[in-house]
A and B are shown apart, each in its own frame.
Chain A
Amino acid sequence: QVQLVQSGAEVKKPGASVKVSCKTSGYTFTSSYIHWVRQAPGQGLEWMGIINPNGGYTRYTQRFQGRVTMTTDTSTSTVYMELSSLRSDDTALFYCARGKDYATTDYWGQGTLVAVSS
């Protein structure tokens, strides 16, 4: 069965970077895009961007442009999302989700909490 398992919670200081992993299984890794979604505490969902594991094409929302980098490791079927220059308002849950096709998502990871605090 399709599974997306994310890395554990992180605590970072302002200005630091965080790299969240999303290990996939149960399907052909290069056949599906991966989306990343952010959810601040008590807030709604915010789409961050998308990566195609087949070739590495990425598209980021402008809000995160310049601070976010999405990468893949095909040898381990893992996708990474790195967010730099962290601020306190970056404290959030980060989710990866598989793209059923380019844009629609079907399976989600369990979420990774990133807390930014001095």
Chain B
Amino acid sequence: DIQMTQSPSSLSASVGDRVTITCRASHGVSNNLAWFQQKPGKAPKSLIYAASTLHSGVPSKFSGSGSRTDFTLTISSLQPEDSATYYCQQYDSSPFTFGPGTKVDI
């Protein structure tokens, strides 16, 4: 199975900050990488697929980049509603494994 790691595991930032979360795969996954946002008590929300393509309706302050083993999620101009846990997931090969998550506090 492909193992996914994320760093940092948590971060605290201020309103207006730009934050970057890193996701690393144990084997190359091409660009088959997705990002999700999960707020407490809520279902995950799909943000990005194919490493950098935003799902419909996702604000452009979210952006993704990377390929093969190293990926980043960037949130520009952090707002209080961005407080959540963010997960990456590879879907290059089954099982489609998730990273452990990064908790973002504002």
Contact = CB atoms under 8 A, between A and B. Distances in A.
A68 B2 CA distance: 21
Given A47-B95, A50-B94, A104-B46, 7 more contacts: A46-B98, A50-B96, A62-B95, A63-B95, A100-B49, A100-B55, A106-B55
Which of A44, A61, A62, A109 counts the most B-chain CB atoms under 10 A from its CB?
Answer: A44
Interface of A: 35, 37, 44-47, 49-50, 59, 61-63, 95, 97, 100, 103-111
Contacts of A97: 44, 46
Contact of A47 (B32, B38, B55, B97): B97
B43 A104 contact: no
A21 B98 CA distance: 23
Given A46-B98, A47-B98, A103 B45 contact: no
Contacts of A106: 46, 49, 55-56
A104 B94 contact: no
A110 B43 contact: yes
B36 interface: yes
A44 B34 contact: no
Classify the interface of chain B: helix, strand, loop or mixed. loop
Interface of B: 32, 34, 36, 38, 43-46, 49-50, 55-56, 87, 89, 91, 94-101
Nearest to A46: B98
Nearest to A59: B94
A23 B28 CA distance: 35
Nearest to B101: A44
